[in-house]
Amino acid sequence: MKPAGFDLFNATWFVLFVPLCGCLALVAKFQISNFRRSITVAPVKLLFIADVVGEPGRRAVKQLVPQLRRRHDLDVVIANGENAAGGSGITPKTAEEIFSSGVDVMTSGDHLWDQKEVMELLANEKRFLRPLNYPPGTPGQGSGIFEIRNPKSEIRNAISIAVLNLQGRTFMPVLENPFLLAQAEVERLRQTTKIIFVDMHAEATSEKISMARMLDGKVSAVVGTHTHVQTADEQIFPGGTAYLTDAGFTGPHESVLGREIEPVIKRFLTSQPQRFEVAKERVLLQGVMIEIDDASGKAVKIQRVSQLL
């Protein structure tokens, strides 16, 4: 025979115990959430340096990049180096000068082949990229995955970041279709990391924006290069992809796109060939800083850079 108060006791115990379990579960969830937040990696801070032009551009990188890294706690620095050697192309020597100044990865573009020594870079330097959409069999690589360490995080493991270099086709040498290749390559890179930076080296604004819109939500940032004129349309698209049509250029701005003014004007006046020397005055480091959420790969902040040497 059951004790007289058995059912009442069990019912009372049940009414009290179930809410208590719910409260404990909420407390545990709150504590776990706080613990996760405490070890969450701080936003990855990336600096992209616009087209480095000649010795003045390399000098700006050498003097300003270490300062910028310290001042902004930068995690990774990427630069477009296709004009680093005398304003046309790049060599192993000029590349090493830029890398030793604090640049982690370099991209390029249509001036890739202007110096014959570039073949050595393409064969031996994994930190140097050429546009992905060159035909199969072209030396070098169009993308790379690089390990960086974020000293601001309690998590000491390295963070993977992918860099993808593309070249447009409108008013440019005709290469493979960058839109088709980008889709497949981004999917491949996302198998390893969600933090993906794209240098879209192109002439046409519409081609740059179209690429960024297509990749919105799939990459962290798409930044345009090639035209050497910094645009003022920095933004973060709805999917979380940061965008800037053109990052400008790093080098002498008392010039025509980095070259001495008079020979360029004379070329337009006479249609006769001229020698375009790299200019020297008013040297600026231009580019863009982007903060990226490590967990999602989405951009949380974008800011143009234009700093006088």
Active site members? 111
Which among 217, 80, 69 is positioned nearest to 151, based on CA atoms?
Answer: 69
CA distance 286 to 52: 9
Q: Do 230 and 303 meet the contact criterion of CB atoms below 8 Å apart?
A: no
Place of tokens 């616009």: 50
- Please measure the distance between the N-terminal and C-terminal CA atoms of the chain and give it in whole angstroms: 94
CA angle (232 as vertex; 295, 221 as ends), nearest 5? 20
Strand 242-244 and strand 221-225: pairing? parallel
Q: Do 202 and 231 meet the contact criterion of CB atoms below 8 Å apart?
A: no
CA distance 130 to 96: 16
Helix residue ranges per DSSP H, 134-238 = 178-189, 205-215
